[in-house]
Amino acid sequence: MNLKVYFQKVREIEMNLLEPSVVMVSHESPDGGKAGVRTEVPREIAAKMIVEGRARVASAEEASEFHHVKSEAKRLADQEAAANRMQVTVVPADFRNLRDMRGLKEAADK
């Protein structure tokens, strides 16, 4: 393929992509690429993927599902991170004795 034609096609497709990032769905490729894998890429990379025949732009439904799955995964990761940050204080069984002893010390200090 002529490089001039290649980059002209990339620019034309890039101009037609309105969003700064685009959800793409991959095609199967002979070098091991799997079909149907969704990913979000900048519009410049999306244009190159389309020209090279490696992927297509996801439909509105596919993009919506992709964003929903991504936001749900983020929510679960945030929830797990918050659970890992939870602090636990261990209180001895004879806490009442310690409280009484502190009360006695405060009374002695007065």
Domain residue spans of the chain:
1-70
DSSP of 84-102, one letter per residue? HH-------TTHHHHHHHH
Are the C-beta atoms of residues 104 and 96 closer than 8 Å to each other? no
Residues 6+ apart with CB under 8 A from 53: 27
Helices (H) and strands (E) in the chain, counts: 4, 3
Reported confidence tier of residue 57, pLDDT bands at 50, 70, 90: very high
**Rounded mean pLDDT, 13-18:** 93
Instruction: Tell me which residue has tokens 């079909």.
Output: 35
pTM above 0.75, yes or no: no
Q: What percent of the chain has pLDDT over 90?
A: 62
Higher pLDDT, 93 or 32: 32
Q: Is the confidence at residue 7, as pLDDT, over 80?
A: yes
Are the C-beta atoms of residues 48 and 13 closer than 8 Å to each other? no
Residues 71-93: tens digit of each pLDDT: 999 999 999 988 888 777 776 66
Structure tokens that stand for 63 in this block: 């993009």
- CA–CA distance, 85 with 96 (Å, rounded to integer): 29
Q: Is the confidence at residue 103, as pLDDT, over 80?
A: no
- CA–CA distance, 24 with 56 (Å, rounded to integer): 6
